[in-house]
Amino acid sequence: MADPHAHDHAPAPTATLAPRPEKQEKLPASEEVTEVAPGVLRLQLPISLPGLGHVNCYALEDERGWALVDPGLPSPDEFDALVMRLASIGVPVARVHTVVVTHSHPDHFGGAGRLRILCGAEIIAHRSFRTIFDPFDDDSIELLDANAPRINDDGFDPVLFGKYLLGNDDIPELPARRSPWGGVIPFPTPAEIMGMRSWDGLAKRGFLTPQPTARVDDAQIVRLARRDWVAVHTPGHTGDHLCLFDPAEGILLSGDHVLPTITPHISGMAASKDSLADYVAALDKVAALEGVRYVLPAHGHPFVDLAGRVEAIQRHHHERLDLVSDIAAQIGEADVIEFSRHLFQERSWGAMAESETYAHLEHLRLTGQATMARDGDRKRYRISR
């Protein structure tokens, strides 16, 4: 499965490489459960994605039981790790009554559907939450019709995917998902679907049915752990990204919006015209929150200097835009794939690097610094100097 978070960025041609510090987000998951802010426990769950070694699931208790934020992937091994972490603090999984999903990436929503089926947990997400596997619901999942007109805008057919995931037939090459810049997105491949077939039935069913039971809007109050949390819509990494802020204790559950040592991937696949501008504005939005004392990210360790981290991430993207312009001076007009292969190291080439490159090129176009022309299905960009 492709890494939906970040890439190792290639330095500018004239840059001098400094020693690379260890990225917190790559560290393996610890089995230890710790209280990282008043009334908030951190459970580190293992994930196997390039550049990431764990996802932080946060647990909050109230008189009804427990709420979890981002319960990891749905596969049996990862879910067993969640169950074991909960058992280590004396919590049976049946006491989980609510799941908050920060955004529509599998390492965040994957376990949500399983928890809803297993223990009736409510699922809370932003109003715009949607996965590529929609539409599925508990009533229709066993009645999949491969001929149903449910193909997504990028050419992905969730019904056909569900049929092969739940079935036993040979899996052919599915039609490639189309990108808006004229490339292709290979996920899911037959090999990836076969890997998911090894999951138990509850994992597969839960993966296909993560639909929220409650959708929240920006600034809406969410009651968790006997206190009020403010929903903060923070698009950019995904269009549906949601943070939660507890002003009483100064706790920000930041999901993937603000991470401690890597810069989150900016999606060129979002419905927004300018996901980079959305992301930068959403960084300003969280930096303006008054009284933030603890930032609890979805990967890496909790940290305290939100303003400093926001400034560093914004500076990174300004530098990336300058680097894109420098690359354009060398190669002239080019498509997104060619730009991405100058912008990223070879080990990161592919759909995710192209997606972030596209987001930066579109930002330059929309701000009048670049022009775009079409060459068949591909978009080509020329940047003004």
- Angle, CA 115 vertex, CA 174 and CA 266 arms, to 5°: 55
On the question of pLDDT at 184 being above 50, the answer is yes
Per mean pLDDT, which range of 95-104, 181-190, 333-342 is the poorest? 181-190
- Judge whether 62 lies within some domain: yes
**DSSP symbol at 182:** S
Q: Do 62 and 90 share a domain, yes or no?
A: yes
Q: Do 240 and 285 share a domain, yes or no?
A: yes
What pLDDT score does 47 carry? 92
Q: Do 322 and 299 share a domain, yes or no?
A: no
| Beta-carbon contacts of residue 292 (< 8 Å; ≥ 6 apart) | 245, 250, 251, 252, 286, 306
Q: Do 291 and 340 share a domain, yes or no?
A: no
What pLDDT score does 1 carry? 39
- Judge whether 151 lies within some domain: yes
Q: Do 303 and 325 share a domain, yes or no?
A: no
- Residue 346, domain CATH: 1.10.10.10
- Judge whether 2 lies within some domain: no
Q: Do 326 and 303 share a domain, yes or no?
A: no
pLDDT (mean) for 72-86 = 95
What pLDDT score does 318 carry? 97
Q: Do 53 and 95 share a domain, yes or no?
A: yes
> What is the crossing angle of helices 351-366 and 275-287, to 10°?
90
What pLDDT score does 146 carry? 45
Which of the pair, 154 or 277, is modelled with greater confidence?
A: 277
Q: How many CB atoms lie within 10 A of CB 152?
A: 15
pTM, whole model, 2 decimals? 0.90
- 187 pLDDT band, cuts 50/70/90, is confident
- Residue 284, domain CATH: 3.60.15.10
Q: With left for phi above 0 and alpha for psi between -120 and 50, is residue 333 left, alpha or beta?
A: beta
Q: Do 158 and 238 share a domain, yes or no?
A: yes
Per mean pLDDT, which range of 17-31, 277-291, 330-344, 371-385 is the poorest? 17-31
What pLDDT score does 13 carry? 30
- 224 pLDDT band, cuts 50/70/90, is very high
Q: How many CB atoms lie within 10 A of CB 193?
A: 16
What pLDDT score does 173 carry? 80
Taking the CA of residue 253 as centre, how many other CA atoms within 13 Å lie in the half-sphere pointing to its CB?
32
Which of the pair, 68 or 48, is modelled with greater confidence?
A: 68
Q: What percent of the chain has pLDDT over 70?
A: 90
What pLDDT score does 385 carry? 67
Q: With left for phi above 0 and alpha for psi between -120 and 50, is residue 181 left, alpha or beta?
A: alpha
Instruction: Pick the last residue of a domain from 281, 307, 333.
Output: 307
- 155 pLDDT band, cuts 50/70/90, is confident
Per mean pLDDT, which range of 10-19, 287-296, 339-348, 368-377 is the poorest? 10-19
pLDDT (mean) for 296-307 = 98
Q: Do 293 and 169 share a domain, yes or no?
A: yes
What pLDDT score does 359 carry? 97
- Judge whether 139 lies within some domain: yes
pLDDT (mean) for 142-147 = 48
By the 8 A CB rule, do 304 and 327 touch? no
The mean predicted confidence, pLDDT, of the chain is 89
Structural domain boundaries, residue 52: 24-307
Does a cis peptide bond (omega within 30 degrees of 0) precede residue 21? no
What pLDDT score does 3 carry? 40
By the 8 A CB rule, do 361 and 324 touch? yes
- Judge whether 285 lies within some domain: yes
| Each residue's pLDDT tens digit, 322-345 | 999 999 999 999 999 999 999 999
pLDDT (mean) for 51-66 = 96
DSSP string computed for 62-84: ETTEEEEE-----SHHHHHHHHH
